[in-house]
């Protein structure tokens, strides 16, 4: 059912309202029979989208309200969240940053509502991955992340005026003897190993200075010690 303007060929063209067979409705602009331009689409399940369309697909700027109470406001390309936008989740968390093919991808900031902590850094296909800062109430961690966990060298910066340098080491799960049935491997969080504690050092968003030879040697010694500990535990 359609109520609106048409062109000389009889196509929906201009402003109009449509009631779709599945119960959804659309109120907005059409071009040559397609939803194109600006409009509001309301889904039967309670979701709604208000924004720009191109040939029946969300394309351009728009805001989408989901049935669970979450919402996305930002760029769309070919029906996908793509570009720059802000997603407010049902639990109150927010992500503001870059999107690619519907996923958090690129540079972005995720704020955890319950704790006030926030992750500021790189994302890959929806996961925290790359250079980032995890900022808490009275301290922060600066380093690299992989699949949402910190990895390798990094530093904790405390508001009391000191830094703790070290690295995250992935502990290996002890494997039992024998050729029994394979069990799914358990995900074990990497362990933080401290190399030194220093006073606050100057830091700019453009990057850090290269680590001093002393830091490098300390981290190398800590890594070697960790390897020896793992080897002793496996023996």
Q: Token pair of 37, please?
A: 């331009």
Cα–Cα distance for residue pair 15/31, rounded to 1 Å: 9
Residue, of 201 and 142, whose pLDDT is higher: 142
Q: Token pair of 145, please?
A: 């992340």
The pLDDT score that the predictor gives to residue 76 is 98
Does the pLDDT at position 197 exceed 90? no
Q: How far is CA 158 from CA 11, 100, 125, 140, 184, in A?
A: 65, 34, 31, 7, 38
Across the range 72-94, mean pLDDT stands at: 97
Element (H, E) at 220: helix 213-234
- Report whether 184 contacts 165 (CB < 8 A): no
Across the range 64-69, mean pLDDT stands at: 96
Does the pLDDT at position 174 exceed 60? no
Does the pLDDT at position 151 exceed 60? yes
DSSP code per residue over 21-71: TTS-EEEEEEETTEEEEEEEEE-TTS-EEEEEEETTEEEEEEEEE-TTS-E
Determine phi and psi for 222, rounding to 5 degrees.
-65, -40
The pLDDT score that the predictor gives to residue 214 is 44
Across the range 126-137, mean pLDDT stands at: 96
The pLDDT score that the predictor gives to residue 50 is 98
Cα–Cα distance for residue pair 107/35, rounded to 1 Å: 32
Does the pLDDT at position 211 exceed 80? no
Does the pLDDT at position 175 exceed 50? no
The pLDDT score that the predictor gives to residue 199 is 81
Within 8 A by CB and 6+ apart from 61, the residues are: 51, 52, 74, 75, 76
The pLDDT score that the predictor gives to residue 160 is 87
Which band of pLDDT confidence, cut at 50, 70 and 90, is reported for residue 25? very high
Question: Which residue's structure tokens are 């502990």?
Answer: 171
Element (H, E) at 222: helix 213-234
The pLDDT score that the predictor gives to residue 187 is 55
């Amino acid at each position: 059912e359609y109520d609106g303007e048409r062109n000389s060929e009889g196509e929906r063209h201009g402003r109009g309202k449509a009631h779709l067979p599945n119960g959804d409705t659309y109120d907005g602009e059409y071009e040559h029979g397609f939803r194109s331009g600006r409009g509001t689409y309301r889904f039967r399940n309670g979701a709604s989208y208000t924004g720009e369309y191109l040939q029946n697909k969300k394309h351009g700027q728009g805001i989408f309200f989901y049935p669970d109470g979450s919402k996305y406001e930002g760029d769309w390309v070919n029906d996908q969240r793509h570009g720059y936008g802000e997603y407010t989740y049902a639990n109150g968390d927010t992500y503001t940053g870059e999107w690619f093919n519907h996923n958090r991808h690129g540079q972005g900031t995720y704020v955890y509502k319950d704790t006030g902590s926030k992750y500021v850094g790189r994302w890959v296909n929806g996961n925290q991955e790359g250079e980032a800062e995890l900022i808490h109430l009275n301290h922060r961690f600066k380093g690299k992340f992989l699949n949402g966990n910190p990895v390798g060298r990094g530093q904790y910066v405390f508001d009391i005026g000191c830094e703790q340098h070290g690295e995250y080491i992935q502990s290996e799960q002890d494997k039992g003897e024998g050729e029994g049935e394979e069990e799914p491997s358990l995900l074990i969080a990497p362990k933080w190993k401290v190399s030194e504690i220093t006073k606050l050092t100057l830091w700019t968003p453009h990057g850090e200075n290269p680590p001093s030879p002393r830091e490098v040697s300390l981290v190398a010694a800590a890594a070697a010690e960790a390897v020896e500990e793992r080897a002793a535990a496996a023996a």
